Amino acid sequence: MSNRNLTKASLLVSTLCLGLMGNVLAAQSVDKQLSVSSDTQLQIKVQRGDVTIQTWDKSEVSVTGTLDELSEGFVFEQQGNNLNIEDKMPRHYNGNNDKGSQLTIKVPKTVKLSADTISANLQVAETQGELDLNTVSGNINANNLSGKPELHTVSGDITTKALDGKIKLETVSGTIQDTDSKGEMNYRLVSGDLKSHTQAEKVTIEQVSGEVNANFSVTKEIELRTVSGDSQVSLAKNFNKANFESVSGDITVIFNDVPDASFNLDGGPGGKINNGLTQDVPQKQKYVPSTELSFQTGSGAANVKMNTISGNLILKKQ
């Protein structure tokens, strides 16, 4: 055989081998359905990629899409009341440029659901049952959830809209952006920023090393505790109770109109009070480097308490 023919044969073999390798490494499609009961607990485990969770009126769970390029198998099985969905991956792998799993999961609206991912992003809408979502570096996007949703990330971002119920949002080094939520909101952040424009009646914020920018137009009870971060909160005229605490951070409270409230502000060691709401002046303490301020506006029906150590307490009228 001539050298030219040998070269052609080699190229042909190489092409066939590459094609076979491509087929082996290509993402595998999945299309599964399974009937479930009202008390089924759905557990989802996907390491990377994108997972979209949708609801429908059927008493079934459906999974469609493609598995991770490195998938070692797809688990879709029911054990008692638990339905497990998992894209199994090698214990060790290197594939940062791969797309990962691309799955759409349809569930009954009132399903009890938990999901755990590493870098996979989660998108969920319209669920009404118990929901527990956890990611390490993935983002969570949630719309129109009700019930008791709990969303947690380590370094990912959480974006939510129109949630309703008893809600918990938590991140370590990501951001939380919440819009038009109702019910009871609980935000927890470490080294992340919070942007909230909520309609919840009760709000609790715990923040370390980040900024808070919040508009509580209809909120009745507010609890805010921050360390090493600045906060700006807008309140409506009518509310019941607001407690604000900071260490090494400023708290600015802006009122749309002068409320009917009793105010008690403690500047603490190294803190300052700036009252832009009335003409009342903070009083310096005799033996400690701090200031205090107590006053009342209108009927004094609501209660506002503000405390700081090494921070500024600022009251403003919009």
Q: What is the pLDDT of residues 277-297, one digit of tens each?
A: 999 999 987 777 789 999 999
Tell me the pTM: 0.90
Residue 38, both tokens: 């009202």
pLDDT of residue 144 exceeding 60: yes
> What SS3 class is residue 139?
coil
What is the mean pLDDT of the segment spanning 292-317? 97
Tell me the pLDDT band of 95, cut-offs 50, 70 and 90.
low
d(CA 280, CA 34): 67
Looking at residue 193, its pLDDT comes to 98
Nearest to 224 by CA among 315, 311, 306, 309: 306
Helices (H), the chain: 3-25
Residue 270, both tokens: 């190294």
Burial status of residue 111 (CB atoms within 10 A of its CB: 0-12, 13-18, 19 or more): buried
- Beta-strand relationship, 121-125 and 140-143: parallel
Looking at residue 25, its pLDDT comes to 53
Phi (first) and psi of residue 290, to 5 degrees: -150, 165
Looking at residue 6, its pLDDT comes to 44
Nearest to 251 by CA among 238, 233, 278, 275: 233
Question: How many Å separate Cα 164 from the centre of its chain?
Answer: 14
Residue 161, both tokens: 């809209």
Between 4-13, 61-70, 115-124, 181-190, the lowest mean confidence (pLDDT) is in: 4-13
In the chain, % of residues over pLDDT 70 = 91
pLDDT of residue 276 exceeding 80: yes
Residue pair 227/192 in contact (Cβ under 8 Å)? The answer is: no
